[in-house]
A and B are shown apart, each in its own frame.
Chain A
Amino acid sequence: MTTGEPLIVLDGVNKWFGPLHVLDDVSLSVGRGEVVVVIGPSGSGKSTLCRTINRLEPINSGTITFDGTPLPAEGKALAKLRSEVGMVFQSFNLFAHKTILENVTLGPIKVRKEKPAAVRERGLALLDRVGIANQADKYPAQLSGGQQQRAAIARALAMQPKAMLFDEPTSALDPEMVGEVLDVMTSLARDGMTMVVVTHEMGFARHAANRVVFMADGQLVEEAPPAEFFANPRSERAKDFLSKILTH
């Protein structure tokens, strides 16, 4: 699973929103091909953590290193780094004025300057992989939530990223559509994609994660393999959290 130096390293990361200390001295490293699931109560800073990795949220102190390079400041170098890190949002954020296929091909054509014909072919193959090849020429608003999120995953994959970040990818979905998105994510994990997944889906954490990270009040409280974490959480905070979500 993990080989060589880790792909993503956060070291002593702090972030404040005004007086609120959202990330409190967080250190985490994610190996190549590793799937890390971040769980925790609302407001614990897990989404913010995910968004700092491609600098959608700047941090106040500490360092973040991706593939051996510290995150650059805003500019061309940061844009290049972002192109190597796929991101999937809670609210899909597909480009509303473009078709599904155009959503998928925009990045490779404009950022990587690839040939449109080749990108189109790869885009269609990706849409086929996530099971929505027949929706390629529709606009995002014409698709269901689950289809939109799968399109968003295909859009991120079209850049052939080194890692994928998922920021609560199923939280905005109707229950019957959660499964289709998780299936795509599970198959990605099996194929060896490096993934950081913020989620409330404990089932996914159990069967797809290599490691579960538990966050509370901006701190990284506990990390362990999923079987160990769910059977024997060490911290009181994690025990309390699990007892609340697993009793129903």
Chain B
Amino acid sequence: MKKILSVLLLTACFFAQDLFAQDKCNSAVITTSPVVFTAEDEVTIRADVSSCPGLSGQSQLWLWMFVPDCCAPVFGNDASGGASDFCNSNDMLAMTNVEGDIWEYTFTPVTLFDRSPSEITQIGFIPKVNGCPGDPGQTEDLFLTVAPSIFIPTELRSFPATVFQNDFITAYFDQTLTENTAMSELSEIFVYTWATRTDAEGNSKPDAEAVPWPEVGNTPSLQTLDEGNGIFSLTVFPQDRYPLDEGDIVTGFNFIFRNAEGTAQAETLTVVPVTSN
């Protein structure tokens, strides 16, 4: 009887842990200034944790930071800001309160991690409270992409690097860099493109296609410009290209380079516009 009760008690405790456990916050709003930065640029991470129960209302937050598969921050000879001690936050990584639940941290990647720009292509970070109070006291793992200090050609790219939703946007496909044999042999390339959007209140709306997929090959304005040397491009002006409504907030411009028939295509290029401020 005692054994049965013990087993029942242990089982209850096991599930009780799940009942009262809370997840790491996945709704923190993260921005950087500048939007695009290299490892040698000074960058400010801004975190709005108002939607994170374990972080909202705290008097102080810290960052846990790391370069994936590489290294932790270095402060003089002390490398304790990173992988060595998650539960003992380093005051050198204390965030500055802007107002309410908005926190900032400013750093220069090559200085913080004491690494060369080529070694820092991504930065991982976690806004958290001090200690290890459990998952609610931190966000999930967050990542920032660090732009290269030199131009590196890629199969897909967009211009300019930072766009507003009322800017001209140019999508590029470099045929010489694709591993897709069918795409590498095309002489005429078209683009299927659409915008994802919300209304002014942030509610999702149906995608705004330039034209439906089957009609792309019959739409001359969606045929790319052959710039030579295997480079193909398409420039769009969103207000004229997509069926957007007044007040729409575009969350992404998407481009798929393809043949006229739609039987060969590249990966999707997504361009996220910034909001005017």
| A, B from the same assembly | no
User: What is the interface of chain A, defined by CB distance below 8 A to chain B?
Assistant: none
